[in-house]
Structure 1
C-alpha cells in the first residue's frame, strides 16, 4: 500500500520514535540498528490497520511507549488505559527532541499530525497533492476541510510535509507547494470541498498525483 514508516532520531540520546509501524517490522528494526538507535516510543497518526499492523510485533522487541490521541483511542476502542494518551496541543519528548501533536480530524476522528523542526508528519491527513479519504468509518469531509485550512495557515510556507503514503511523484513537499498545487487546499467553501472530496476527485484523478493549478 506504499506506506511510509518514519524513524525520528534524537541525536542527543540515540533514542528514536517510530511513526506508524506497519507491514515490514524487520525492516524497521534493521533501520534502527543501522543507525544504532533504541526505539523507545511509537507515534500513531491514526488507527487504520495499514498503519498499525506491525505494532504488536514491534512491541515484542522494544519496550516502547505508544502515543496517540485520546479521541483516536476511543474511536479505535483500544489502548484506552495508556498513560500516554494525548490531546491536540500536547508535546511528546523523545530524548531532547520535542514533537508537537496536532489534532487533525477528517480521515478519522482522532487523526494526528506530528510537527517538529520545520517538518510535519501528516499520516493520511495530507498527501503530496492529495488528502485522505473521508468515506471510511469515522471520516468526516467537513472536518477535513477545516483541518486542511488550519494546516495551510498555521504552518510556515517552507515546512516540509511527510505523508503516510507514497501517492505522488515526489515523497515530500512543502506547504507552499501544497497551497499552490494541491486541489484540496484550493477551496474556500466547505460545501464545494465536500462535493469534490466525496463525489468528484476519485473519478478524475489517478495516482501518482501531480500538481493541479487553480
Structure 2
C-alpha cells in the first residue's frame, strides 16, 4: 500500500524519507532539508505528488527545506504542538499534534509517538514495521542532549519506553546516517546500542553528557 524512499543529503549526512501512498500517489516528506530539488526529483521518480510534510523535530538541519517545499506545493505541515512552540513556527499554518495521534496519507496511516530528549517536542513516526526516529535514536547512538532544548533525563525515559514498546523486529529509520549501516532494528539496538543498556538515570546522564565522545561511524558495543 505504500513505498518508502530514503535520500542522504547535506554535509551532516541527513536521511530524508519520502513515503508514497500507492492508492492515491500522495507523498509525505519527513524532515525536508538541504537539497529540495533532489527531494522533488525523487518524488517525480516515484510518480507521486508531495502533499504532506512530517517533522520529527525543528533543528535547522531538519527543517531548512520546509519553506521551499511549502512554497512549491500545497503540502500540509505536521509538527508536535510542543515542538511548534519550541521552534516558533508561526506563519506556516502547521497542523499540531500530540503523542498517540494518527496521521493519514491517502489510505496509509501513521502513528505519532512523542519522544522528548533531543528537543521537547521530538517525535517518532510509526508505519507498520517501520519507526522513523529523527534524532531520537540513531543506529547505535542517540541524539545529543546538550543542544538547545535537550534534556538527558527525558531522553533516558524516552529510550526506555521505546525499548519496551516496540517489537525487536521493528525497523529503525534514523534522521542521520551516522553508523556502519543506515538502518537497524529495535532488537539490534537493545543488544548493541549503549544508550539502551545503561540501567540508571544518573549513569545515563553522565554518559550522555560527559563520556560519550566516540568518533563516528557508530558501531555496536558489546
What band does the TM-score fall into relative to the shorter chain? over 0.9
| Residue 196 (structure 2) aligns with | 185
| Residue 114 (structure 2) aligns with | 103
Q: In structure 2, what is the Cα distance between the partners aligned to 1:29 and 1:79? A: 25
| Residue 67 (structure 1) aligns with | 78
| Residue 217 (structure 2) aligns with | 208
TM-score where L is the length of structure 1: 0.97
Q: In structure 2, what is the Cα distance between the partners aligned to 1:31 and 1:77? A: 29
Confirm or deny: 8 A CA contact 1:131 1:184 kept in the other structure.
yes
Confirm or deny: 8 A CA contact 1:128 1:209 kept in the other structure.
yes
Deviation at 1:97, TM superposition (A): 0.6
Deviation at 1:82, TM superposition (A): 3.6
SS in structure 1 at match of 2:52: strand
| Residue 10 (structure 1) aligns with | 21
Q: In structure 1, what is the Cα distance between the partners aligned to 2:108 and 2:199? A: 36
Which segment drifts farther, 171-180 or 78-87? Answer: 78-87
| Residue 198 (structure 1) aligns with | 209
Deviation at 1:79, TM superposition (A): 3.3
TM-score where L is the length of structure 2: 0.93
Q: In structure 1, what is the Cα distance between the partners aligned to 2:68 and 2:209? A: 35
Specify whether residues 22 and 81 from structure 1 end up closer, same or farther in structure 2 by C-alpha distance, changes over 3 A only.
Answer: closer
Q: In structure 1, what is the Cα distance between the partners aligned to 2:62 and 2:20? A: 20
Q: In structure 1, what is the Cα distance between the partners aligned to 2:122 and 2:93? A: 17
Q: In structure 1, what is the Cα distance between the partners aligned to 2:105 and 2:16? A: 17
SS in structure 2 at match of 1:135: coil
Q: In structure 1, what is the Cα distance between the partners aligned to 2:30 and 2:133? A: 10
| Residue 147 (structure 2) aligns with | 136
Deviation at 1:111, TM superposition (A): 0.3
Question: How many residues align structurally?
Answer: 211
Specify whether residues 172 and 99 from structure 1 end up closer, same or farther in structure 2 by C-alpha distance, changes over 3 A only.
Answer: same
Deviations 1:107-165 (A, max 9, x none): 00000100011000000000000000000111000000000001111000000000000
Deviations 1:173-213 (A, max 9, x none): 000000000000001111000000000001xx110001001
Q: In structure 1, what is the Cα distance between the partners aligned to 2:112 and 2:143? A: 18
Q: Which runs of 5+ in 2 are unaligned?
A: 1-11
